[in-house]
Structures are given as C-alpha cells and as structure tokens.
Amino acid sequence: MASSSMFGPNNPGAFWTGGPAPGQFYNFPGSQSTSAQNSSQRTLYPVVTGTSVLGVQFEGGVVMAADMLGSYGSLARFRDCPRLLKVNDTTVLGAAGDYADFQYLSNVIQQQVIDEECLNDGFGYTPKSLHCWLTRVLYNRRSQFNPLWNTYIVAGIDDEKPFLGYVDKIGMAYEAPSLACGFGAYLALPIIRDAMEKNPTMTQDEAVALIDRCMKLLFYRDARSLNKYQVAVITKAGVDIRGPIKSETNWEVAHMIKGYE
Amino acid sequence: MAAPCVEPAKGGFSFENCSRNARFEQMGLKFPKAYKTGTTIAGVIYKDGVVLGADTRATEDTVVADKNCAKIHYISDNIYCCGAGTAADTEMTTQMISGQLELHRLATGRAPRVCTANRLLKQMLFRYQGYIGAALVLGGVDSTGPNLYSIWPHGSTDKLPYVTMGSGSLAAMATFEDRFKPNMTKEEAMKLVRDAIAAGIFNDLGSGSNVDLCVITKDKVEYIRPHEIANAKGVKQGRYLYKRGTTATLSSDVKKIEFDVIGTEVKTSAQPMDTQ
C-alpha cells in the first residue's frame, strides 16, 4: 500500500486511495497475485514443430533424413528449417518436435563442442556419449515437468561401428538398426524393417535409395510434411549432409479416381 | 377397444435416446464397452478384378480374443467385404446388407452391383451417426467392372484403386504407396496385398496371426483362408510325459469289480404328443 505521509519528488503519492504510485507494481483487485518471480513458465505444448526423422544403418555407416518444414499447427509456415545438426565428424543429431527447443539444445551442444576443442585433450563427442547425455538431460527436464518437447535421433560412427539411437521427450532411449520418430514410425518403419530383413548388409547406395523411397512415402501420406528434405550420410570418411532434395512424386493414380461412390 | 394412436414420425433424426443416455450416466449406469478388432484390412484393384486381404486377430483391449477369426465377409456371390472396428458391428452389418442385397437381386432379377452394397452400407451407418463402429473395405466385380470402396463408421465412402483400414492401415498403406501400379497381374496383386497385410501383422500390435486373401474376378471367387500362416505356434521340442516302464512293476493282479444293478429305465426316442 502506498504511504501518504510526505509527498515530494522522492515519495510521489498514490494516484487514488489504495492505488499505485508511479514506479510501483499494482495488483489489480480480484485477480490472483502472481509476481513474475513466482509464476512458473513450463512447456505446455509445442508451437513450431518438425515431423518425422528417419535413420537406417548400413554396411559401414548410417544414413539419416528429415524434411525441412517447421509447421505452425496446421500451417506450413517455415519451409527452410534444417532439422539435422552436424555435431562433429562422427555424429549427426536429428530432431522432431518443437523447433525452439531444438534450437536451444543445438546452441548448448555447439558451445560444448567448442569448449571441448579448446580443452584440446583429444576427446570429443561420440554418438554414444551424446545419446547418453541427451537421455539424462531430457529425463531431468521431464522430471521438472518442463520437458524439451523433442524426439532426437543420434546417428554416427562409434569405435568403427555404426550407431543409431533414439531419445524421447520423456527420456525413453534405445538403440536399433533402424529408427523413425513421429509418423515415420507408422509409415516408413514397416518398409525399412522389411527391406533390412531381406537385405541385412545394405550398401550405402541401397540405404540412401531406401530412405528416398520412405521420404516420398511420407510426403504422400503425412499431412504435416514437405517435399524438401535433407539426407545425412555418416561413414568413416566423415559426415555428408545432402540437400535440399525434392522427391519425384507420381500422381498417375489420380486418373483412376472419380467421385466417391 | 381403443388402439393407442401413434404419431407418424416427422422425418429427420430423433435424438430422444441421447437425453435418456445422459440421464442414465448421471444415475451412475456404466455402459458396456465395445470390443474392437484392431485389424489390418486392405484391397487392391488389378487387371481382372479385386484382391481383398485381412489379418486374423481379434483383440479385447490387450488380450487376443480370437487367433484365427474370419474378417472377409460374404455380401453376395461377386461381392465381399472386409471389416475392421467393433467385431459384432462388422459381422451384423455385413449380414444385414447381404440379406437386403439378396432381396434386391430377387426383386430386380439382376446381379447386384457393388455400388448398391456401398449405398446400403453408408446409408445405414450414417443413420447411426458413427455409433456402429464398422470400418469396411468393400470390393467386388459386377457388370461395370471391378470396384473397390472404403466405408467409414460415420458413413463416408471413398472409391479408390487401393484402400486400407484398421489399426494397421498405415503400415499397409505404406506398402501400397510404395509398390502399387495400375493393371497388375493376379500374382503381383496377391503378393502386394499379402505384403501389405504382413506389414500390418508384424508392425502393429492390434493385428496378427495369419493372412487371408479373397480374389474376385468376373467368373469366380477364390476365398483363400489362410493364404499364409505367418505366425505358427511353436512346436514343443520334447515330450514331457514319462514313458511306460519308467517305474518298474513289481507285481500285477487283475480283479473283477461286482456291480449292483439299482434300476433300469427305458427312454423313447420319439417326441410325446402335445395332447398329453
């Protein structure tokens, strides 16, 4: 409450009885008093989102793909969002879900990579260590009820062996020879798993062709996708991020469809 | 005797039961839960006709209720229908429409058309506003050629060259989008549908067991059940009963047991007359 004892330049009086003095916060009557410090800001829902990310291991490396769309709900708002991050020459990180959380985490990771390079002790991020660190960070954030609303896929070469790992926003993590998050898990993973069963030791070209087939399929059937995607191929030789690639879609079937009954 | 006078229906929908149901719910009455099939069903049009496919698992929530149920239902000699959703709804709906179509065939004297079955199904499902949980893939060959429809529980239909429905529909549709082409041969079409259903069986938890196929052409129908036993029950590797002679016999003695006859009864096989 404003004191109404002595008015002057250092103690301006309230504008009305019980009202605010200039420079004071005024708690409007009837509303809950939440000062900026007390109100918690937690992630409640994702805003700009990315859709699926696919990952496939082949003989001598890993290939990962993600399209370049940032959806604002059902609006295809940002058509130039790279969702693959090259961490170093052995690791690439792909993210689905909230784009802002991915950007925040990318900044953190890139700063840490710089710090490690400054230390100059020969150690750097391996895909396994990045996967492990991500799991702990995401699980911790979820335990604070403030998750980073993303699903990450970590791909790379670890100790001369290909590595592919998945981490969820609730901290669920696992490794597998083929991974997909989002709609890719329902649409692309059956195709990828079938192809890998028929051909367990794929070459790089076969794996990239498989990924291209699946990205085309996702563009056909995922309503929040875009026909513009990047592909990251990680081998012993290093990381090669190709893109943007546009699928050749075939709409010949449209001639066979007239009406609905 | 004065008969009670019933007012004729004014037309349109009557939602009286909705307020009755709401009052029941307020009183605390629990409605029975509908049991779903959790399914992969698919259909494809090829050069000479239609190939329909389905898995054979029926689920009650997370338990497999029937390991080998038949999801491809008979509508008429040239029209078959796969059903996903609530098992009772798909079974009864297809049977009702099959009956209506047969009466229609007898009345018109013509072979029934697939679009007629489609109309009958969608008009009934729309009338029930989605409460009949039947998602159907209707296929057949009639005088206009091969036709394939997908029918949703609320009553909307799509006429397409390839359709999938059920919980495994995304896996099956992925296979179709990858490899469908117009005017396939019968072998290609059967392989494609088999692969689509297999994708659903192995990647969706609501689908499983075997693959059933139904190939419909102008002249005949091949109802292949099962087309492929994709998940065979494991065979026990050993026999766990003890062999005769495992336990040594020291001596054996045979005795006759005396029976006492308590009573006898003569039963007649013919039914007694109603007058008695």
Give residue-wise pLDDT tens across range A199-242.
999 999 999 999 999 999 999 999 999 999 999 999 999 999 99
CB proximity A15 to B under 8 Å:
no
Q: Report which DSSP code applies to A255.
A: G
User: Running DSSP on this structure, what letter comes out for residue A259?
Assistant: S
**Rounded to 5 degrees, what angle do the CA atoms B144, B146, B148 make?**
115
Contact between B180 and A217 using a beta-carbon 8 Å cutoff: no
- Is A113:A55 a contact under the CB 8 Å cutoff? no
**Distances from the Cα of A46 to the Cα of A101, A171, A173, B35, angstroms:** 9, 17, 20, 34
What does the pLDDT average to over B70-76?
Answer: 95
Rounded distance between C-alpha atoms, residue B187 and residue A63, angstroms: 34
Q: How many whole angstroms separate alpha carbon B53 and alpha carbon B168? A: 12
Report helix, strand or coil for A137: helix
For residue B245, the 8-state DSSP code is T
Q: Output the pLDDT for position B31.
A: 73
Given CB atoms, is A198 within the 8 Å cutoff of chain B? no
When comparing pLDDT for A191 and B67, which is higher?
A191
A209 to A59, A182, B30, B170: CA distances (angstroms): 14, 21, 53, 21
Q: Kindly state the percentage of chain A with pLDDT values over 90.
A: 77
The overall average pLDDT reported for chain A is 90
Backbone angles phi, psi at A157, to 5 degrees: -110, 120
Instruction: Check residue A12 and give its pLDDT.
Output: 67
- Name the 3-class secondary structure at B249: coil
Render B80-115 in DSSP notation, one character per residue.
EEEEEEBHHHHHHHHHHHHHHHHHHHHHH-SPPPHH
SS3 B173: helix
Query: At residue A88, what is the residue type?
Result: N
The pLDDT value given to residue B134: 94
**Separation of CA B29 from chain center:** 30
Does residue A113 carry a pLDDT above 90? Answer: yes
Give the pLDDT mean for B67-77: 94
Judged by phi (left if over 0) then psi (alpha if -120 to 50, else beta), residue B183 lies in left
Q: How far apart are CA B39 and CA B34, in angstroms?
A: 15
Mean pLDDT over all residues of chain B?
A: 89
Instruction: List residues in chain B touching A: CB distance below 8 A.
Output: 45, 115, 118-119, 122, 149, 156-161, 170-171, 173-175, 177-178, 180, 182, 195, 198-200, 202-203
- Say if the Cβ atoms of A217 and B203 lie within 8 Å: no
What's the rounded Cα separation, in Å, for the pair A101 and B208? Answer: 38
Q: How far apart are CA A194 and CA A213, in angstroms?
A: 13
Q: Which two tokens mark B51? A: 């190939």
Percent helix, strand and coil across chain B, each to the nearest 5: 30, 25, 45
Residue A150 DSSP SS3: strand
The reply to whether residue A213 touches residue B178, judged by beta carbons under 8 angstroms, is yes
Active site residue A135: no
* Least confident among A104-113, B241-250, B263-272: B263-272
Give contacts of A261 with chain B, Cβ < 8 Å: 115, 118-119, 122, 149, 157, 159
* Amino acid (one-letter) located at A57: Q
In this prediction, residues B245-265 reach a mean pLDDT of: 90
Q: Which residues 17-46 of A have a C-beta within 8 angstroms of B?
A: none
pLDDT value for B272: 67
Average pLDDT for residues A1-20, to the nearest whole number?
A: 65
Burial class (CB in 10 A: 0-12, 13-18, 19+), B89: buried
**Per-residue pLDDT at A191 exceeds 80:** yes
Q: How many CA atoms lie within 13 A of A218 on its CB side?
A: 34
